Structure 1
């Protein structure tokens, strides 16, 4: 304890209280006081009294906190909050207050990640907030202390916000040329851009920002000139973003080599030609074109090709200057075009003619150019320097030679058939041509030796395409020879011969009498007229010519006719052959006998199937008729003449089919009879002999049988004269209205029938 050695007394008027006013006195400071009361009445009389009093501070200060405060994390990854920042007017009745703040931490503040036991920070003037708390709410406590040491607390929520954008650091700008980039470099490929030009960097206080490269803005022109603007974006976990950019400038670079190829000579076929070659060391854009002019007439060669190469460098050519014609004989050799010619352009614009692609390698050696050209000698490494403009032309000569003859391959053709009245046929002969050099063949001629007379007087056209060709023509019946001549356009000519034959494969249509009647004649005693081993009292020999109505010749001369019993043909006892011109009948044959007439030509048609089944022989055709055998004299019965006889016949279609139900009438001045044909088409009358009769068939039944649109077409062609009907029966049938002529009226009537 201390010792009081003195004190100071301060006297101060606290209040003057009027009559009837409140006796309450305020603002007495803390401490030990003596209160002196002085009262004065209306007469000026005064009275005093003193009262000791001690005023003490026994109340804590009032602690007031803001309800909620937003706190932003700074660039260093931390946010700082002072005690005053959360105070909302904390006070004390007795004097000023002091403020302190603290918070609870449950993680390692060094890395902001590793959890730690929760602990309060010491009371202090401020607290720190960390990146890992961004987006969260942290509770802070405020400690309020008055001058007498009394305290009070309050708390509030701190909303931690990261409002600081991360820093984006782009790669340095780049100036380059397209020659420094790969030929297939893709400016749209972000991976290639990052590999070649680097990647942006990120600086973020909280360290968790992500970096994204955006789609580049590409502004490239021709010849590799242009720019690429790369953009990068960084974003932290709180959504704060920033961007940075890198500009890549690509400048022009022009450097190239062009090899123009030397001349070539190919043996036999088009050689494997060494073609133009371009080495693009820069960013040039080339247009290359080759044009061929072919010359067929060339001494010592099949043909010659003048191949003109045109090369335009659009990054160098001005668009209007004439081309630079590259010489073919810079080495001054005996013949131009014997060596390749190189054009080399350097990046500084110098351009050279050279024997290879390097003008500084000492090849060709200095002064190695020939002396026949009247030009100056060359320096070491190249032929000469040239003023180029990016537009080059050069001519390469390609020759093809051939010493081998072409080969014509033919096969012996089968005989060609003539099937018309003109006795000729369309002949088509096929052959192939092989040549070791040619891929086409146009110089082929053909001629025909008609009838092998030794004169190839008839030329024919050659059609087809290499290697298969044909010749064709109309040739008569006979044996002929074709001569084929091929020239391969290289001076080699070869001929081949084809022997062939046109044969007659047709015989003219045969028209016969529908019926022929013959009368038996008496025979000498003991005669076997038909060779059947029996004596014949009566017989007759019927010549086939009695049945023939139409022409008797065709392409091979006169026709031969034979007659045969139908029954013998059907039972196989008679096989027709061209030497049977007559038929012997006897008493055994009295009555109608169906017969078949054959017409034979003199051809030897290898395709004709003969009646005996063999292949090859004359052409033939047939018609059917009826031979009626009469015994008018009664020789077979021994009765002699009775003045009566039989008239028999057969009604057939043009094709030889029997027609039944036809009304047949024999008429003369004395009688008018009628009968109907049987199923086999036969009819028979018993008539008086020594009379003349007119036999008339008549039928109106089934008139549309077999009539088709094809018949209508045939009649129309006849009317138009395109294809006349070729038989009397067809002419009769086509005269539908029986006018005696065939006109469009008949066509109309036939259409109505159909």
Structure 2
């Protein structure tokens, strides 16, 4: 039994017989066809074969500078002259290029005739097309001129127009797929090229930039410039980093690459159409940053100059002496005046990129030599190099600005002050009773209570921060007794050195001491210096005994001439004024009992600080502790001294030293410089070296290993 899925052999033979019979009949009748191709009596209703007649005109290449392909580009034209049914397929491929266009569109047209298509071939309708050469029909090496394909039955003519001529190229169209019993003529394919240009350059927007600050030490500046770039077509642009240049001082003849200034310079694409460039170590002056950008079509911008300026915008920083005192002098017309100069307040040199020089510091900065001075609240002016004071400001503390100027007009300042003093009492006295209270060394004391006794009425006041006091609005024509009063029992500044000084006094060596030192030795205040005072001082030092009446302070009328004697006697501790009818001055000298060598240090709030009367900034006291091991400055011996003293010091290494001596007003009295070997050394100072001036001094030793400052007293 046969499988039902297999065809029957009998049936196959039957089919084969009928097929061969049909073929024989057809072959037997072929000779009977008439001239029209019809066989008499055979399918009389079969239509005649079709004649194919149609034109296809493929477009020429197109160029556009509109950033993108325009929508009205001419396309393929198909003209059906008969019963043909033409179909068109269009495909685009886009290629970026920076050669002769921004980008190119390869637009391919494929045209087929549905009347020539046979389904039995089972092929893509547009497979195996006839590709029309882009050089057709002339083959003159000129491509993309466009071509018309004129189909007449089974022949195609390639022409510039729709007129067939003898020189048109012919293509015989042969069918394909005949083996399957059907036929299918090829389609026609042609590629048009659309070139899209962008001939508009991208644009760099020049930003408005601030001045870039130079470094304080190198005098070079760093720029941080952000700029924007745009293009009419491209959404983004790129920075041509190899084209970034600097035109120093805006000179194109000497352009330099950023790396010539800064090996670590950077650039950044901020992804929003802006770019940031950072370059350091640029010299002071006006320069240009030159940049170029590229759009997506490869079009470059013009080299764009972005001007910028690197400038010294920092003002010099002066160092002020912290306060000076100035005594008024007679003006020859019954008044008083004096001047202070800006240079008087310069504590240490200042240096700047645009200083006046010619001296320079280790960084090559020039020394500032132009200073001005003005009262606080007044406008600074470079030519204001001094200030003049008169009796109107006598006894006042005037706040002052010291300005340092560079050659660009930048100026910085520090604030200090001046104490205007009328030590010689030249100025007219203000109504009432005024005066000062100071130590024998000239240090004025603040917060000292005073009474002005008027019969049974006591008017009271205190010395101010500058050691001045004033009783004002006192009834005129009345008598007064002015007396300072301060009670304190501390033994600060009293030590064994004071015992040695008292021994010298008791040996009647009084020429070595001031009268006020002699008064300080009268411990029991009986008007005589003797061994009892020595014994009492020992008890105070070693047994912490108290001073008489528990008070170590005494005050003396400054006008009183204290005798230089071991028996100075009683001294006036007040000033009597009979019938006050005009301004009266009553000064006092404060004496601390037992402090014979003048080593007592004022306490905060009680005395006017030294810095308020003298410039100590140049002594750099705060830095005196930063010393190398082996550097030592010893206390001068003797101290206090009268004619001569010795300053001993030691050096950890050989080198240059400078010993300077300053008075309380910050004035340099003595200076000695030398180059010394390692080890111990000493310098001798005498009264003549100090200008025969008496009082408190500071002496400073300056070396490469550090600086140290101490005090000394000459009486």
Q: Same fold (TM over 0.5)?
A: no
Structure number, greater radius of gyration: 1
Q: TM-score, normalised by structure 1?
A: 0.37
Larger fraction in helix: 2
Larger fraction in strand: 1
Q: TM-score, normalised by structure 2?
A: 0.39
